[in-house]
Amino acid sequence: MSDIGKSIIQFIVEEQRNHPGSTGSFTGLMTDIASACKKISHLVNRSGIIGLGGAAESENVQGEVQKKLDIITNDVMVDHLNWTGHLAAMASEEIEEIIQIPDGLPKGEYLITFDPLDGSSNIDVNISVGTIFSILRCPPGVTEPTVEDFMQPGTEQVCAGFCVYGPTTMMILTTGQGVNGFTLDRDVGEFILTHPKMTIPEETAEFAINMSNQRFWEPPVQRYIDECMKGVDGGREKNFNMRWVASMVAEVYRVLTRGGIFMYPLDTKPSTDGGKLRLMYEASPMSFIVEQAGGMSSTGRERIMEIKPDGVHQRVPVILGSKKEVERVVFYHQNDA
């Protein structure tokens, strides 16, 4: 029987039944995340009407000007996740320190990292934004998690997902058994399985990179993009098309649906320290999803999933998507460096 049409919670409950001894806590956590994302979808959709557009008067830990919705969506995530007893602690792009469960509330067995509103520079121009999250296990016996307890490589993720608030709101999820996509049915208020077993085509003729950074890239990336730009005239077997949404959730969703390569590589800009994207709530969960869909993800020098973080807000270069193209860029890093 086809799984299409199942609600996300039915889908997760059925997946959990394959794990004897599971307590139901993961299903509970996913219910909370789905609720938070539905609320965020609603707020993003109505932001112009209810006066939530524009900048707030604050900066986040990375020194970036926060949007009003950055702050509000962070609060939505925290308020939906901190009281149900499934989490031991949280970490958010918008908050410097890790977020503890308030005193007096029960704690659970999981840790979560999230970017509550990725691509938020796009809100005011009405382009897709999203929420990215990564779930880890809290180390056994730890009741007061510290930053050190979060310092687990991406290979330790229990689940990774993202929600994209676009023409439709979609939740993309992996628990290590493939990737599935769910569409929010606003009439019934449920995420419904619409895109089962998503796979990334191995080959592609589409690349995504912020070309305005070209002069700051390293030689292997210069070479790869130069070849894409020249297409058949430069020795490639095909001509390439380019996209840049400036919203990682939208780019990764596109890669998942029709293939492509997405890159935010190492550059020498003073504003970036080792890359632009953050390991623990952008690069690592997206890498888990991309690998589970048959794609590949690398910094150019190492598999992102194997990086042991050295801080919650650590940045890394990201090169992900269709396998053959990512392999080519990695090859150039090994041979041009």
Residue numbers at the binding site for Mg ion (CB under 5 A): 115, 118
Q: Does the footprint of ligand AHM cover residue 246 (CB under 6 A)?
A: yes
Q: Does the footprint of ligand AHM cover residue 94 (CB under 6 A)?
A: no
Q: How far is the CB of 279 from ligand AHM (least distance, A)?
A: 13
Nearer to Mg ion, 32 or 115 (CB): 115
Nearer to ligand AHM, 120 or 299 (CB): 120
Q: Does the footprint of ligand AHM cover residue 283 (CB under 6 A)?
A: no
> What is the DSSP-derived secondary structure letter of residue 309?
P
Q: Does the footprint of ligand AHM cover residue 272 (CB under 6 A)?
A: no
Residue 109 binding: pick among ligand AHM, Mg ion, none (C-beta 5-8 Å cut-off by kind): none
Nearer to ligand AHM, 61 or 98 (CB): 61
Long-range contacts of 187-192 (CB under 8 A, 24+ apart): 189/38, 190/7, 190/8, 190/9, 191/7, 191/8, 191/34, 191/37, 191/38, 192/5, 192/6, 192/7, 192/8
Q: How many residues are recorded in the chain?
A: 337
Q: Does the footprint of ligand AHM cover residue 55 (CB under 6 A)?
A: no
Residue 154 binding: pick among Mg ion, ligand AHM, none (C-beta 5-8 Å cut-off by kind): none
Q: What token pair was written down for 82?
A: 């901190």
Q: Does the footprint of ligand AHM cover residue 119 (CB under 6 A)?
A: yes
Q: What token pair was written down for 179?
A: 């990737």
Q: Does the footprint of ligand AHM cover residue 248 (CB under 6 A)?
A: yes
Sign of CA dihedral 15, 285, 114, 51: negative
* Helix ranges (DSSP H) in the chain: 8-16, 25-46, 68-81, 147-150, 219-230, 248-258, 284-292, 323-336
Q: How far is the CB of 276 from ligand AHM (least distance, A)?
A: 6
Residue 246 binding: pick among Mg ion, ligand AHM, none (C-beta 5-8 Å cut-off by kind): ligand AHM
Q: Does the footprint of ligand AHM cover residue 221 (CB under 6 A)?
A: no
Helices and strands (H, E) in the chain, number of each type: 8, 17
Nearer to Mg ion, 43 or 193 (CB): 43
Pairing type for strands 169-174 and 179-185 reads antiparallel
Q: 42, 64, 137, 199: which one contacts ligand AHM (CB under 6 A)?
A: 64
- Residue 131 CA to residue 78 CA, distance in Å, equals 13
Tokens 């994302």 belong to: 37
Backbone φ and ψ for 162, nearest 5 degrees, come out as -150, 155
Q: 115, 267, 291, 325: which one contacts ligand AHM (CB under 6 A)?
A: 115
Residue 32 binding: pick among Mg ion, ligand AHM, none (C-beta 5-8 Å cut-off by kind): none
User: Cβ contacts of residue 148 below 8 Å, gap of 6+?
Assistant: none
Region of 100-108, 115-123, 253-261, 287-295 interacting with ligand AHM (CB under 6 A): 115-123
Residue 292 binding: pick among Mg ion, ligand AHM, none (C-beta 5-8 Å cut-off by kind): none
Give the footprint of ligand AHM on this chain (CB under 6 A).
64, 93, 115, 118-121, 210, 246-248, 264
